[in-house]
Amino acid sequence: MYCWISSEGRECSKVIGPASLSDRGGWTKVGERGLNKLVGKSKDHEYTLGEVAAVYLARGKKKTGEDKAESTKELHSQLVRAYIEPEFGDRVAMTIEPLEIQNWIDGLSKGIRPKVRNLMSAIYRHGQKFNMIPRREECNPLRWVSVGTTSDYEAKVVTPEQAWSIAENLPLYERTLIITDAATGCRVSECLALKWLDIEWERNQIKVQRAWVRGRIGPTKSRASKAPVPMHAILATILENWRKETPYAKDEDWVFPSFKLRGKQPRTASTMVADYIRPIAVKLGIIKKDEPRFGFHNFRHSLATFLISEGRNPDVVRRMLRQSHIDTTLIYTHMDSERIGAQGRMLGRMLPKTEAVQ
């Protein structure tokens, strides 16, 4: 429990963790929740945007009440540190004018504007929910701040043949990972977090249980992300061949471990992109040297584009990518065979016949 004295001399307290929490861990929690900023201030003082943002980062959840994905938490922390805190952190939240925010946001890059605006709006709503900001309409300036949602960025789409030309120039480890990523449409954070026990060989599917983001294991991006991924026989064979080669082949081992760390954790995707995937794609002329943001996510985009161009049912595509909110009654369970068939066509185009039948 963290205790502090308000400006009125009242003792305030907040439970921050279990009794077993160390002093160091406790102070970390205090900093994360911004509680240290409340010392000597009135219980009902006018909170700065920095104080409200600190509490939001520590306690904010999705509208459903679920915890945010680790990648989302990290992004929000970066946006607060890099943009919101330097500009408005010391300002009393309810006194910031809409036009101030609008003029400032208009000066940011197109890609970052909607992210900052939406995050600030969430911070204000959180502050009003927990009575840190008055619940009056005029105390939330984001209601009058508008931002276009269009971006100049368009993900580079690679054909199955181009995907294979990249994969065949990679070592076996990276080749297996990129084929798994391209064929399933899984996020690379989900591929890296796979353990061998997650692969249900007899049911021809892969269970997505967790995500590996910025050196930490966390939950998947959404509830829909936990839907099982179909596994075609070709992909199953490729994964079985990799299991025979890796020294970490026990059920509890990571499918794509860090050899440098003796299999204790998965590898880092950004390193593989920088060291292998991007240089090979440039060398093959698939992308230009200055092509922005090329990596594993491009293969996820490419799977969707390929399936749509093949005339696949959009519902099949959405289920493969696990992006939309899926009806819990699983109305589309009859599509499982179609999903596996679609994956097989992708692999059939992507891999040479000799590789596909091994």
Angle between helices 336-350 and 160-167 (to 10 degrees): 60
CA dihedral 177, 183, 186, 188 (to 10 degrees): 30
Instruction: Indicate the SS3 state at residue 289.
Output: coil
Q: What is the pLDDT of residues 61-74, one digit of tens each?
A: 766 667 777 778 88
Over 70: is that where the pLDDT of 8 sits?
no
Tell me which of 81-90, 93-102, 169-178, 293-302 is least confident.
293-302
pLDDT at residue 325, as a whole number:
40
Highest mean pLDDT (candidates 144-158, 164-178, 334-348): 164-178
Q: What is the pLDDT of residues 200-228, one digit of tens each?
A: 999 999 999 999 988 888 888 776 667 78
Of the candidates 190, 259, 203, the one whose C-alpha atom is nearest the C-alpha of residue 230 is 203
Q: What is the pLDDT of residues 215-267, one digit of tens each?
A: 888 888 776 667 788 898 989 999 999 999 999 999 999 999 999 999 999 99
* pLDDT, greater one: 172 or 110: 172
Q: What is the pLDDT of residues 275-333, one digit of tens each?
A: 999 999 999 999 998 887 888 888 877 766 666 566 656 565 566 555 444 332 233 23
Q: Which two tokens stand for residue 158?
A: 């690679």
Q: What is the pLDDT of residues 44-66, one digit of tens each?
A: 558 899 999 988 988 777 666 67
* pLDDT, greater one: 352 or 9: 352
**Distance separating alpha carbons of residues 351 and 88, to the nearest angstrom:** 53
pLDDT at residue 68, as a whole number:
76
